[in-house]
Amino acid sequence: MKNKMEIRVFAWMAQAGLVMALLVVSPMARAQGAAATPPSRFLGTITAIAGDTLTVKSDADGVRQFEVPATASVKRVAPGQKDLSTAVTIQFSDLAVGDRALVKLDPNAPAGASQALQIIAIKQEDVALKQQKDREDWQQRGVGGLVKSVDSAGGAIVLTSGVGAAAKTITVHTTKATVLKRYAPASVSYDAAQPAPIDAIHTGDQLQARGTKNADGTEMAAEEVISGTFRNISGVIGSLDSAGSTFALKDLATKKQVTVHITPDAQMRRLPDMMARVLAARLKGNTNGSGSGSGGNGQSSNGGAGAWTGAAGSGQRGGSGQWAGQGGGQGGRQGGDLLQMLSRAPAIQFADLKKGDAVMLVSTNGVAEVTVITLWAGVEPLLEAPAASQDLLSNWSMNAGAGAAEAEAQ
């Protein structure tokens, strides 16, 4: 889950069609296609414009610089276009740094000169708008949870979503038309996800799907499914290595020592004490929504209006609103609220961690060594209810606060 608009669900660019297959592809796909792409045509991001000279950072082979004569064709397409039939002719002056561009060089240019014959561009603002719309669509029509079972022949995937009283089972139905993807190792980047058959989905995987839900949200006809295998770890930090950006802990579930690597892409947050106590109370079944057990409307022991206030929404990701410890009897909203609370806790850095900190984290699927995807410190009260806390961690989803994971966008 990256915090560079590549997240905390995800870069969310459309993947369908000829144009997007060329303009928005994963690093692996680009690498596989590089050898087959003629040198006279390349894909990249505009990094500089000077006069009639364009500089593009190619996805395949570094920086390319070339002239754009007045005779060059410059067209603009929207993200998700299936072909060039709706492409709009624009002026060279309409291009800007940050735009994506597919460039075809003129094979008949004067000797020694590099000139563009055609440029097909996706404007940066169009990408941002598409990403926003996709995020909203995942929020409104998406579900996420832990894979309980997979019926490959029937195309059905059963998920468990939510925690405690809010836990429910969702059956995701897929067809040949459903887009199925898997996250790349050590990644929750939507961009880096690769097509994969339903057989690649395993029990215990994290899975997110979007499509048409039935009335009670227990079944979905999926248009797109993305899944991945991650590891959930809870424990107390035993030692830290600042030089290596690692720490060691004993996994409370396996009782084994694990070395945890922190990269610049890791999302790390610390729960305020009262927030952690409210979460723990709800996990233990205290429907008052208060760490002290008082104030049925979520009021803390000091009479405050709420233990935690943030843009957690009210059952829908990305909505603006407040969570103020509203009781646990809210049905399907509770699990989402708890995960949203986790995602809204204040961000921290590696330097903020210390020996003895209790942490919960989602990591890559390693054994003795893992890399953090997202981590929460300050969770001592939650570990007093280990089973419920593990359920909460297991139901972490890439669409909880992201990213969809996610998204964290670039």
Q: Is residue 407 part of a domain?
A: no
pLDDT at 163: 63
pLDDT in tens, 289-326: 433 333 333 333 332 222 222 222 223 333 222 222 22
Residues 382 and 254 in one domain: yes
Residues 249 and 333 in one domain: yes
pLDDT in tens, 24-49: 444 444 444 444 444 588 999 999 99
Residues 121 and 158 in one domain: no
- Average pLDDT over all residues of the chain: 75
Q: Is residue 389 part of a domain?
A: yes
CA distances in angstroms from 68 to 19, 23, 87, 358, listed in the order given: 21, 19, 19, 57
Report pTM: 0.57
Residues 285 and 375 in one domain: yes
Residues 165 and 276 in one domain: no
pLDDT at 320: 25
pLDDT at 285: 65
- Supply the CATH number for residue 302's domain: 2.40.50.320
Domain that holds residue 163: 142-228
- Of the chain, the percentage scoring pLDDT greater than 90 comes to 40
Q: Is residue 352 part of a domain?
A: yes
pLDDT along the chain (410 residues), means of 10: 38 33 41 50 93 91 92 91 85 94 92 93 90 86 91 95 76 96 78 90 91 94 93 92 95 91 89 86 58 33 27 28 27 50 85 94 86 89 70 54 34
Residues 287 and 301 in one domain: yes
pLDDT at 326: 26
Residues 224 and 244 in one domain: no
Q: Is residue 44 part of a domain?
A: yes
Q: Is residue 12 part of a domain?
A: no
Matching residue, tokens 């996709």: 134
Q: Is residue 283 part of a domain?
A: yes
- Supply the CATH number for residue 165's domain: 2.40.50
- Chosen domain end from 72, 98, 130: 130
pLDDT at 31: 45
Q: Is residue 326 part of a domain?
A: yes
- State how far the Cα of 198 lies from the Cα of 389, in Å rounded to an integer: 29
Q: Is residue 1 part of a domain?
A: no
Residues 99 and 238 in one domain: no
Residues 104 and 193 in one domain: no
Residues 84 and 187 in one domain: no
- State how far the Cα of 324 lies from the Cα of 299, in Å rounded to an integer: 8
Tell me how many domains the chain contains: 3
Residues 32 and 125 in one domain: yes
Residues 184 and 117 in one domain: no
pLDDT at 297: 31
pLDDT at 328: 30
- State how far the Cα of 384 lies from the Cα of 85, in Å rounded to an integer: 60
State the CB neighbour count (10 A cutoff) for residue 171.
15
